[in-house]
Amino acid sequence: MAKQTRQRILDSALTMFNALGEPNVTTNHIADELEISPGNLYYHFRNKDDIIEQLFARFEERMDAALAAPQGRLPGLEDIWLQLHLVFECIWDYRFLHRDLVEILSRNRRLRLRFARILRRANEQAHAVMSGLLQAGIMRASKDELAATATNVLVIATFWLNYAAARGDKDEHAAIRDGIVQVMMLLAPFLRDAERVHLNTLTRAYLD
């Protein structure tokens, strides 16, 4: 029962943080939403930052899985497309972390370090995937071009949904779709002719 209550608190907090913004939600709001006493909530979590850390742990675990590279073979464009979809869905499901990022990280050093680790992992993975595309003969790029493109991919993937929200986009699926296409277009100038045609085919099929 205690484990179930703890899970309900986390699920409700995530929903409210995403809908209202983390700074606008208190532990009392969460307790009221669940119709439990504040004391019951504090039995499971010391304070709101404790709840945020537990939600971040779930986000971290899911993002690590999304960033996993194909095993035993070089990546293809379809692998990148799938990986981006998993990353964008994860960011959307925990969008309060990115929308309120500065506020949250400014008061929690542990989360600053953990978020920096995720960014390093994502940056390493972006470099590794693009190096794999070079090795597979799918891409042509210099070392500097590869490094700059990997950084641009990381920046857009991390903050695209913030940008979509700022411009008033309401459709989750459209925002994710547009973000994936935007990232893939960063690769287009470096693709060999046949692979660029393949990317255009994938893009048209995805947008239809």
Residue 1 has pLDDT above 70, yes or no: no
Q: What is the pTM of this model?
A: 0.88
For 203, residues 6+ apart whose C-beta sits below 8 A from its C-beta are: 181, 184
- Domain 1-45 class, CATH top level: mainly alpha
- Encode pLDDT of 29-55 as tens digits: 999 999 999 999 999 999 999 999 999
Q: What is the pLDDT of residue 38?
A: 94
Average pLDDT of the chain? 91
- CA distances (Å), origin 47, targets 15, 107, 111: 17, 13, 15
Q: What is the pLDDT of residue 90?
A: 93
Are 111 and 105 in contact by the 8 Å Cβ rule? The answer is: yes
Closest CA relative to residue 84, chosen from 198, 146, 175: 175
Task: Average the pLDDT over 87-110 and give the result.
Answer: 90
Same topology, domains 1-45 and 48-207? Answer is no
Per-residue tokens: 114: 């953990």
* DSSP codes joined into one string, 109-125: HHHHHHHHHHHHHHHHH
d(CA 33, CA 27): 10
- The amino acid at residue 34 is L
Q: Quickly state the pLDDT bin for 71 (edges 50, 70, 90).
A: confident
User: What is the CATH code of the structural domain delimited by 48-207?
Assistant: 1.10.357.10
Domain ranges of the chain: 1-45, 48-207
Task: Average the pLDDT over 48-75 and give the result.
Answer: 91
Q: Which of 1-15, 18-32, 48-62 has the lowest mean pLDDT?
A: 1-15
